Amino acid sequence: MASLTSFLPANAHTLVVGGTAGIGAAIAHKLALALPPTSRITIAGRNASAAQRIIDGIRDEISAHGDATKTGATMDFAAVDCGKMSDVKRFCKDYRRNVLQEPTHKLDLLVLTPGILAMDGRQPAAPGSTLDLKMTLHYYARMLIIRELLPCLADNATVLSVLDGKRSDARASGIKWDDMDLSQPGNYGISKAAEHCLTFTDIQLQDFAEQSNKDTSHGIPHRSFIHAYPGFVSTEIFNTSRLPWYARFGAKGISTLLAVSPETCAKQLLDGVAECKEKDLSGDAASSVAGSPKGLWNIDDKGRILTNKNRADSETMDKVREHTWHAVDSQAPDA
């Protein structure tokens, strides 16, 4: 099977949001070593020093390899606070203007991995925000980034959201349709918030795939929208102070025995993305879910395409789309 980089142009532009740690950092690392210096990878997040350590580490690794012909992709950092909808919009505007210099360049690969592991209750994503922090990082901010960058996606662009494309279900029975952001008293819970985010991700990516691949005014687009399940990965997220000490201790112990490294996870997910991309470009939909629009995929932690997924009807897509854009656009200017 061909690698994902074989489907990217020599001057590819890649954006990894949440790429300063964990799976996002590992994906950025693998891509940087495989892509030529004419390509560009932007790591976006809040931690500039962490991003610089990743960039410096990649440069040192290439230098130590001693191959003068291997220089790796050009890399840079862009700051964004995915908890603030206003900052996400600012970031996307700046990225389109300063990095893509639109219409000069297009975005070829967008990877979304921002997230948080916490056991506390519903809390504002930012001062003045009416949205929950976990739901914002796992769903609202990610979908807003796709929406804002959709006009500058290349015709063959790939969008990857790493959350849980294995257990997601567009027809989940537990969704509270009268309280989709779980803001009403008694409705919020960690498992319920996760169910909403997973379900809405499948549905909104389905909507994006339908929008993106029906416009043939500039040729036939082959954009791919992929919801991935990373599995159990050993990352620093288990050391977060948001978890009680006993949860951190237990999670670290289990991860030592069962978790894969971020590097292994990144390789398997990128291999799965490459398979989805290959099928989209060849027109082979044999492994996709019946009734799926062109370009919509779910993959598991081994990169395998999942075919046992449910898809949403048009009424449900309308409901999720309306809620999502009202939720993100109704936030206070500084939230």
DSSP output for 273-287: HHHHHHHHHHT--TT
pLDDT reported for residue 67: 59
Nearest to 177 by CA among 270, 284, 73, 312: 312
Name the pLDDT band for 254 (thresholds 50, 70, 90): low
Asked if residue 221 lies in contact with residue 212, where contact means CB atoms within 8 angstroms, the answer is yes
pTM of the model: 0.92
pLDDT reported for residue 157: 97
Q: Which residue has the tokens 């292994």?
A: 264
DSSP output for 78-136: EE--TT-HHHHHHHHHHIIIIISTTTT--EEEEEE-------S---BSSTT--SBHHHI
208-225 pLDDT, tens digit each: 999 998 765 555 678 999
Q: What is the pLDDT of the chain when averaged over all its residues?
A: 90
How many CA atoms does the CB half-sphere of 7 hold within 13 Å? 27
In whole angstroms, what is the distance from residue 254 CA to residue 239 CA? 13
In whole angstroms, what is the distance from residue 169 CA to residue 148 CA? 25
pLDDT reported for residue 289: 83
CATH code, 4-329: 3.40.50.720
* Burial of 269: CB neighbours in 10 Å, binned 0-12, 13-18, 19+: buried
156-181 pLDDT, tens digit each: 999 999 999 999 999 999 999 999 99
15: enclosing H helix or E strand: strand 13-17
Per-domain residue ranges of the chain: 4-329
- What DSSP state is assigned to residue 69? T
DSSP output for 237-258: GGG-TTS-HHHHHHHHHHHHHH
Three-state SS string over 167-186 comes to CCCCCCCCCCCCCCCCCCCC
Mean pLDDT of 64-70: 63
Name the pLDDT band for 300 (thresholds 50, 70, 90): very high
Mean pLDDT of 278-287: 82
In whole angstroms, what is the distance from residue 250 CA to residue 247 CA? 5
**248 pLDDT exceeds 50?**
no
- What DSSP state is assigned to residue 289? P
Asked if residue 16 lies in contact with residue 43, where contact means CB atoms within 8 angstroms, the answer is yes
In whole angstroms, what is the distance from residue 140 CA to residue 244 CA? 26
